Structure 1
Amino acid sequence: MSSAAGPDPSEAPEERHFLSTAEAAALERELLEDYRFGRQQLVELCGHASAVAVTKAFPLPALSRKQRTVLVVCGPEQNGAVGLVCARHLRVFEYEPTIFYPTRSLDLLHRDLTTQCEKMDIPFLSYLPTEVQLINEAYGLVVDAVLGPGVEPGEVGGPCTRALATLKLLSIPLVSLDIPSGWDAETGSDSEDGLRPDVLVSLAAPKRCAGRFSGRHHFVAGRFVPDDVRRKFALRLPGYTGTDCVAAL
Structure 2
Amino acid sequence: MTALPTALYTAAQTRELDRLAIAAGTPGAALMQRAGQAAFNALCERWPEARHIAVLCGGGNNGGDGYVVAALAHDAGLQPRIHFLKSPDSLSGDALTMAERCRALHIPMQPLSVEALPVQADVLVDGLFGTGLSASLSDEAARVLTALDALIVPRLALDIPSGLSADTGMPLGAVLRADLTCTFIGLKRGLLTGQGPVYTGELQFADLQVPRDVYQQVPADCLVPTPTALLASLPPRRLDGHKGRYGHVLVIGGDHGFAGAPIMSAQAAARCGAGKVSLITRPEHVVMMIARQPEVMARGVNEPAQAQSLIEAATVIAVGPGLGRDDWGKGLLELAMSSGKPLVMDADALNLLADMDNVGAADWVLTPHPGEAARLLKADSAAIQHDRFATLESLHARYGGTVLLKGLGTLVQGDAGRALITEGNPGMASGGMGDVLTGVVAALRAQGLSGYDAARFGAMLHARAADSCARDKGELGLLATDLLEALRLNLKIESLKVERN
Q: Which residue of 2 aligns with 1:220?
A: 205
Alignment of 1:3-152 (within 5 A): 16-33=6-23, 35-59=24-48, 63=49, 67-104=50-87, 105-128=90-113, 130=115, 135-136=118-119, 138-152=120-134
- Give the whole-Å Cα distance in 2 for the aligned partners of 1:84 and 1:206: 22
* Alignment partners' CA distance in 2, 1:125 and 1:51: 21
Unaligned runs of 5+ residues in structure 2 are: 225-501
Maintained 8 Å contact 1:75/1:160: no
Contact 1:103 1:160 in 2 (8 A): no
- State the match for 1:173 in structure 2: 154
Alpha-carbon separation, structure 2, partners of 1:223 and 1:113: 17
The number of residue pairs the alignment matches comes to: 211
Q: Is the 8 A contact 1:102 1:159 kept in 2?
A: no
Q: How far, CA to CA, are the matches of 1:109 and 1:220 in structure 2?
A: 22
1:195 and 2:176 matched: yes
Cα-Cα RMSD: 2.8
Bigger relative contact order, structure 1 or 2 (CA pairs below 8 A, ≥6 apart):
1
8 Å CA contact 1:72–1:144 kept in 2: the answer is yes
Percent sequence identity over matched residues?
26
Unpaired segments ≥5 residues, structure 1: 1-14, 237-249
1:162-219 per-residue CA deviation (whole Å, 9 max, x = no partner) reads 4323222111111111111111111111189522110101011221111032454211
> Highest CA radius of gyration, 1 or 2?
2
Distance 1:192 1:213 in 2: 17
Give the structure with the higher percent helix. Answer: 2
Matched AA of 1:75: G
Preserved CA contact (<8 Å) 1:98 1:122: yes
Closer/same/farther in 2, CA of residues 106 and 23 from structure 1, 3 Å limit: closer
How many Å apart are 1:127 and its aligned residue?
Answer: 4.4
Q: Residues 189 and 129 from structure 1, CA distance in 2 versus in 1: closer, same or farther, beyond 3 angstroms?
A: closer
Measure the CA separation in 2 of the matches of 1:223 and 1:161. 30
Distance 1:216 1:106 in 2: 30
Tell me, in whole angstroms, the C-alpha distance in 1 between the residues paired with 2:41 and 2:29. 18
Q: Which amino acid aligns with 1:150?
A: G
TM-score (norm 1): 0.74
Q: Which moved more, 1:140-149 or 1:109-118?
A: 109-118
Deviation (angstroms), 1:150: 2.3
State how far apart, in whole Å, the 1-side matches of 2:176 and 2:20 are: 31
